[in-house]
Structure 1
Amino acid sequence: MCNLAIDIKLRGCNLMNLKVKDISHGTTIQSRAIIVQKKTGKPVQFEITEETRKSLRDWIGNKRLTSNDFLFPSRVVPNRPLTTRQHARIVDQWVTSVGLDVCDYGTHTMRRTKPTLIYRRTHDLRAVQLLLGHSKLDSTVRYLGVELEDALVLAEQTDV
C-alpha cells in the first residue's frame, strides 16, 4: 500500500477506491494506468514501478483478489474498500513503527513525496503539474511550496 501510494501520487480516496482491474490485465500488473480523480473528475495517468508491481502481485495472490475486487478491501464491510480513515490509521502505525512523528507524516505526505523529489531533481513544474493532475500551475507551485528563494537560486545558476 505504501509503495503504491507513493508511486501513483493520488489522494487517499482514489487509492482506496482502486480495483484490481484498474491496475492489471489478468495476472499482469500494468506499468502505467489511468483513473478518474474523485475530487476533480479528471483523468490522471500514473506509473507503477517494478518493485511495486511485484508487491501488488504478491498482495493480490495472497488475498486471492479477483479483477472486480477492491485492491484494499474492507475487513468489516463486504464488497467495500478500506476507508480513508483506516488507511490513515495504517499509515500512522507505519510512521510510528519507524520512529517518526505522525504530526509530520501522513497519507497526504505520501502523495507529495514523489512529485517533490521530481521537482528537486528537475525543477520542471509542468511535469509535476501533469503528474498530480493539477489544472493550474499556481496550484502546483503552492502544493510544492516553491518559494521566491527557489526561483532566485535557479536564476543565479543560469548564465545567458
Structure 2
Amino acid sequence: MVESAALIDSFLETMLAERGAAQKTRQAYRADLEDFARWCAPESVAVVPAMRVHAYFAALGRAGLAARTQARRLSALKQFARFLLQMGVREDDFTAGQATPRYQAGLPHPLSEAEVQKLLEKGTRGHADVRRDLLARVALELLYTTGLRISELLTLPAQAVRHKGGMLPIRGKGGRERLVPFSHAAREAAEALIAYDSVLDSPWLFPGRNPQKPLTRQGFDKILHACALQAGIDPQRVSPHVLRHSFATHLLNRGADLRALQMLLGHADITTTQIYTQVMTERLKETVRQYHPLGRGG
C-alpha cells in the first residue's frame, strides 16, 4: 500500500512541475493534506473511504475551525483527489460528496473614481525630490490602470514598458504570463523615470537602494503612504491591494466582462474573480436599503 506521505510528496512535485506553484503555496497545501492524512492514519489516503472525508470535516466543525479555513482545506483535498484519479491510485473522487463550507467572503473597499483621480493628481506632486514625484506617478498610474499585484509591479523590468502594442508583459503567480494593456500616460511616466534613473544602470523599473535589486515592499509602502497624505486621503485606506480592487470594481461598474477581468487580473480560476459580482450585488442592496422608501424590508 502506498503511504500517504509519498502520495502527498508526489502531488506537490507535480504542482511545482506543471503549475510552477510557489514554495509558500506548496507549504500551505502540504500542511492541509498532512492534517487530513494524520486524521485518517493508519489508513492511507489511497484507500480511505469517502465517509472519512465527511467525518473529518464534521470534526473540524465541532473543533470550531473557521468556515473559510475548512473551505481552503477542502479545496486542497479536491485537487489532491483529482491527482490520485489521474495517477490511477484511486478509481473514485473521495471528496465528491463533500459540500463546500459556506462563509461570507471579505468584501474589498475600493476608492471612488474621484478619490483615485485625486490621488493621481495631488498624490504625485510636492514630494521631497523630483525622482520621488516621478516614481509615485509611475507606480500609481500602473497600479490603477493595470490592476497589477504589488509583487508584479515591483519586479517589472525597465524594458517591459517598451513592449510593442501598448501591452505590458507580466509574470504572475505560479510563473503564469499574461499581457495587460496600459495607458499612454503610464508609458510616458515610466519613460521619464527610466531616463532619470539611467545613471543607476538598473534592470528594474523601480530600483531599490541597491540598483541591481528592485524596490522592496516596505520601501514602496512608505512612498504610497506619502502619496495618500499629499492627496488628503486617509493612508489606511490606500494600499496596492485597494488600488487593484479599485481597478476591478470600476471596470465592472462601467460594464466590463467578468472573463476579461479574470485575464487582466491574472486569476487562474474565474471563481476568484466572481467576488467582484458579490461586491456589486451588496452595493446595489445597500443603495435600495438607503434610498428606496420600502427598502429597509429587503
Q: 1:125 to 1:61 in 2, by over 3 A?
A: same
Q: Which runs of 5+ in 1 are unaligned?
A: 153-160
Does the 8 A contact of 1:22 with 1:33 survive in 2?
Answer: yes
SS of 2:148 mapped into structure 1: coil
Change (3 A) 1:63 1:30: farther
Cα offsets for 1:61-111 (capped at 9, x unmatched)? 111168861001012x24001001111111111012211112211111122
Give the alignment's TM-score, normalised by structure 2. 0.45
Partner of 2:140: 2
Q: Once the two structures are aligned, what percentage of the paired residues are identical?
A: 27
Q: 1: CA distance between counterparts of 2:276 and 2:248?
A: 10
Higher helix share: 2
Pick from 119, 123, 134: which aligns with 2:252?
119
Q: Say how many residue pairs are matched.
A: 147
Query: For 2:279, what is the secondary structure of its paired residue?
Result: coil
Amino acid at match of 1:33: L
Out of 105, 110, 114, which is 2:243 matched to? 110
Indicate how the Cα distance of structure 1 residues 36 and 104 shifts in structure 2: closer, same or farther if over 3 A, else same: same
SS of match in other structure, 1:71: coil
Question: 1:21, 1:67 within 8 Å by CA — same for their partners in 2?
Answer: no
Q: CA deviation at 1:129?
A: 1.1
- Matched position secondary structure for 2:178: strand
For 1:52, what is the secondary structure of its paired residue? helix
2:228 maps to what in 1? Answer: 95
Which of 148, 166, 171 aligns to 1:36? It is 171
TM-score by length of 1: 0.79
Unaligned stretches of 5+ in structure 2? 1-138, 286-298
Provide the residue aligned with 1:56 in structure 2: 190
Kept in 2, the 8 Å contact 1:72–1:82? The answer is yes
The structure richer in strand per residue is 1
For the aligned residue pairs, the C-alpha RMSD in angstroms reads 2.5
